Amino acid sequence: MSREETLHSLMKQIGILMKSMRHQGFIFGKNTLSRPQVDILFIMEHHQGGIPVGELAELMKVTSGAVTQFADSLVSMGLVRREEDPADRRILRIKLTPLAEAAFAQFRKDFFTKVSPAFNDLSDEELQEMIRLLRKVKVPFARELK
């Protein structure tokens, strides 16, 4: 198999995995969330003081308008809120609500329980190797969360 064919096969497998994760709903309390909404919540977990819409859009690699649309639905569910930035009132920060913060630990556990079967055929050593190899992949348009 040529390198190009190998890369094509790899990208196909990654696409299948991501598509399966994207198309299933994730339960958060009484709400079913889409994959972008889940992504927002996980990013928010790493930004306790909230995050500006523009920065969230950059992290998600989508437009600010798309983030606003996703955030609107999360606001209506009572999971996030918008607050003015204390340093610059023109900037709106998105923050988890106390309800979401309180429920996030259980949601995280349920999320990983739902996603982890995709990796059942891999040993712990193979998972560690997969992580090591994926960290070597240079993706110019993505940024790893800290």
Closest among 76, 97, 94 to 85, alpha carbons compared: 94
Tell if the pTM clears 0.75, that is, is over it: no
Has residue 128 been placed in a domain? yes
- Rounded Cα–Cα distance for residues 45 and 79 (Å): 12
Q: What are phi and psi of 144, to 5 degrees?
A: -75, 140
Has residue 1 been placed in a domain? no
The answer to whether residue 135 scores a pLDDT higher than 60 is: yes
pLDDT per residue over 67-112, tens digit each?
A: 999 999 999 999 999 988 888 888 888 999 998 888 888 888 888 8
Has residue 10 been placed in a domain? no
Kindly list the distances between the CA atom of residue 136 and the CA atoms of 124, 132, 139, in Å, as whole numbers in the listed order.
19, 7, 9
First to last CA, the chain: 36
Has residue 143 been placed in a domain? no
**Tally of domains within the chain:** 1
pLDDT value for 69: 93
11 confidence band (pLDDT: 50, 70, 90):
confident
- Rounded Cα–Cα distance for residues 1 and 3 (Å): 7
Is 81 in contact with 75 (CB distance < 8 Å)? yes
Which CATH number do you get for residue 37?
Answer: 1.10.10.10
Closest among 113, 115, 72, 118 to 92, alpha carbons compared: 72
Place of tokens 């790493």: 46
Q: Which domain holds residue 56?
A: 25-136
Has residue 77 been placed in a domain? yes
- Rounded Cα–Cα distance for residues 46 and 80 (Å): 14
Has residue 43 been placed in a domain? yes
Has residue 2 been placed in a domain? no
